[in-house]
């Protein structure tokens, strides 16, 4: 039996059935660990900082995570079926060269989350090693880079350890908050602010939806016979439980700590840990290392897909892969090191910005997969500009563009607030319109493809039902 290489050899190419391995259960650990990072805790803190009470921040976090994870878990199902990275599938909707647009936007997601992760991970590493936050960020970037270079198998293995550490730390901190003298008063204010509540749901949903561009990357090695319900279910459970726990903790400590938490999130959480502060710091590092590694790994695949669309190649060598991962880490570090003090406000704007541009892509991708082509793809055509999907796709760009434009009057952020959002008191619903309009319009514009696929399915059914000579 051939020995499995230590460093992952595959890149953006399809994973052959002979190399498929693992079970869908591993997805629970991966997405629980990724969702219990310190960045998710900061996202939960935003619920309170933007006007929710601790009591109403909790249901907002849970509802938002459920809505967002439902969509991203549908993407996760695509991995075992197609065996290719998530974003390269966009060539089937946008065309071989047209997919460069969503790929570039996905790259912004990876760099943004990687950079914010380095800021917070740098704080934890600095506290643990007694070095500056900047030096901590550099050390943390090295760990993230090395794990990403080792690749898929080791990312999944590490997520098991990160899940245990994160679960112990978050549950311990939640218990400490609830039994503290200020735990009861946290829920004494039951006042309800509808716009802030809706904005909280949108923030939690946006957190989940930003995993969409790379969620199938981590299920693509599963055997193609893996039941779709298991892939969906384990991804959904890990995402919702992990994200909800982290955000509820963030909301509670933001209500309790105020500016002390806002100014140095990691130090405040470590202080809550008391004698177990080092456990909290290690858990923060483990959870954030998972998320940063996903961003580094996904970032290199986006760059590789963009580059190969112009070079005509269908894969990247392990050496080139390592170089690209290092470049992604250096770019994220360049963003993270000069990060300003108003990190929380900037991160809010970043999340909402991503939401406006990525939900239309997500809707188009899912409608194409489940309703238009019905899981029937010519994988070879994803790697050639002269294949079945062409160089550019008008229907996808039209649906995407209108999906983005229709959101403008409903946008509610510090950068811009649309007239309808102002009339609604700042409630954030633009992302829902992006999903509905882009997905619905793409479905209408691809009627010819739907009819052709339907006829193909009927023809196959007739062939399979026809009596064989032996039957006759």
Q: Going residue by residue through the chain, which has 472 residues, state the pLDDT in tens, using 9 for 90 and above.
A: 456 778 888 888 899 999 999 999 999 999 999 999 888 888 888 888 878 888 888 999 999 999 999 999 999 999 999 999 988 899 999 999 999 998 888 888 888 888 888 888 888 898 889 999 889 999 999 999 999 999 999 999 999 999 999 999 999 998 888 887 666 677 777 788 888 898 889 889 988 988 988 899 999 999 999 999 999 999 999 999 999 999 999 999 888 877 777 777 788 888 888 888 888 888 888 988 998 999 999 888 888 888 888 877 777 888 888 999 999 999 999 988 887 656 656 766 776 677 788 889 999 999 999 999 999 999 999 998 888 999 999 999 999 999 999 999 988 777 778 898 888 877 778 888 899 999 999 999 999 999 999 888 888 887 776 665 655 5
Q: Please check whether residue 298 lies inside any domain of the structure.
A: yes
Nearest to residue 53, comparing CAs of 312, 324, 256, 345?
Answer: 256
Task: Indicate the number of domains in the chain.
Answer: 1
Q: Please check whether residue 322 lies inside any domain of the structure.
A: yes
CATH number at residue 339: 1.10.4160.10
Nearest to residue 31, comparing CAs of 162, 146, 142?
Answer: 162
Q: Please check whether residue 271 lies inside any domain of the structure.
A: yes
**Would you call 417 helix, strand, or coil by DSSP?**
strand
Q: Please check whether residue 414 lies inside any domain of the structure.
A: no
Terminal Cα distance for the chain, rounded: 45
Q: Please check whether residue 389 lies inside any domain of the structure.
A: no
Beta carbons of 183 and 177 less than 8 angstroms apart: yes
Nearest to residue 309, comparing CAs of 37, 103, 47?
Answer: 103
Q: Please check whether residue 209 lies inside any domain of the structure.
A: yes
Residue 244 CA from chain centroid, whole number: 15
Q: Please check whether residue 407 lies inside any domain of the structure.
A: no
Cβ-based neighbours of 406, under 8 Å, separated by 6 or more: 433, 434, 437
Q: Please check whether residue 141 lies inside any domain of the structure.
A: yes
Beta carbons of 397 and 94 less than 8 angstroms apart: yes
Domain range spanning residue 228? Answer: 22-348
0.75 exceeded by pTM: yes
């Amino acid at each position: 039996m051939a020995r499995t290489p230590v460093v992952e050899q595959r890149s953006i190419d399809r994973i052959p059935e002979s190399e498929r391995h693992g079970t869908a259960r591993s997805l629970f650990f991966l997405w629980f660990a990724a969702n219990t990072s310190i960045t998710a805790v900061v996202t939960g803190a935003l619920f309170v900082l933007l006007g929710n009470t601790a009591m109403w921040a909790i249901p907002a976090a849970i509802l938002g995570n459920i809505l967002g994870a439902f969509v991203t878990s549908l993407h996760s199902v695509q991995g075992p079926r197609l065996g290719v990275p998530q974003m390269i599938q966009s060539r089937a909707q946008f065309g071989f060269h047209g997919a460069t647009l969503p790929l570039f936007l996905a790259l912004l997601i990876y760099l943004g989350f990687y950079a914010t992760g380095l800021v917070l991970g740098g704080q934890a590493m600095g506290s643990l090693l007694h070095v500056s936050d900047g030096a901590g960020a550099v050390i943390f970037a090295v760990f993230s880079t090395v794990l990403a270079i080792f690749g898929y198998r080791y990312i999944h293995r590490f997520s098991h350890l990160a899940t245990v550490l994160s679960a112990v730390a978050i549950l311990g901190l939640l218990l400490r908050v609830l039994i503290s003298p200020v735990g009861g008063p946290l829920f004494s204010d039951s006042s309800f602010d509808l716009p802030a509540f809706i904005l909280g749901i949108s923030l939690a949903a946006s957190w989940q939806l930003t995993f969409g561009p790379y969620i199938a990357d981590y299920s693509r090695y599963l055997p193609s016979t893996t039941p779709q319900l298991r892939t969906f279910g384990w991804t959904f459970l890990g995402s919702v439980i992990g994200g909800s726990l982290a955000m509820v903790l963030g909301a509670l400590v933001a209500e309790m700590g105020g500016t002390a938490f806002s100014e140095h999130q990691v130090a405040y959480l470590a202080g809550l840990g008391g004698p177990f502060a080092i456990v909290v710091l290690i858990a923060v590092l483990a959870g954030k290392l998972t998320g940063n590694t996903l961003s580094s790994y996904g970032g290199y695949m986006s760059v590789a897909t963009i580059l190969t669309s112009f070079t005509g190649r269908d894969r990247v060598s392990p050496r080139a892969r390592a170089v690209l991962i290092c470049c992604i880490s250096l770019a994220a570090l360049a963003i993270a090191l000069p990060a300003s003090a108003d990190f929380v406000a900037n991160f809010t704007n970043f999340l909402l910005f991503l939401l406006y541009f990525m939900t239309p892509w997500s809707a188009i991708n899912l409608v194409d997969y489940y309703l238009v082509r019905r899981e029937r793809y010519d994988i070879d055509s994803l790697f050639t500009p002269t294949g079945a999907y062409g160089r550019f796709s008008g229907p996808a760009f039209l649906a995407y563009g209108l999906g983005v434009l229709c959101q403008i009057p409903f946008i509610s952020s510090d950068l811009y607030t649309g007239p309808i959002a102002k009339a609604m008191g700042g409630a954030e619903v633009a992302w829902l319109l992006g999903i509905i309009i882009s997905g619905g319009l793409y479905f209408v514009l691809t009627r010819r493809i739907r009819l052709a696929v339907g006829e193909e399915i009927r023809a196959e059914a007739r062939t399979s039902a026809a009596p064989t000579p032996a039957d006759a």
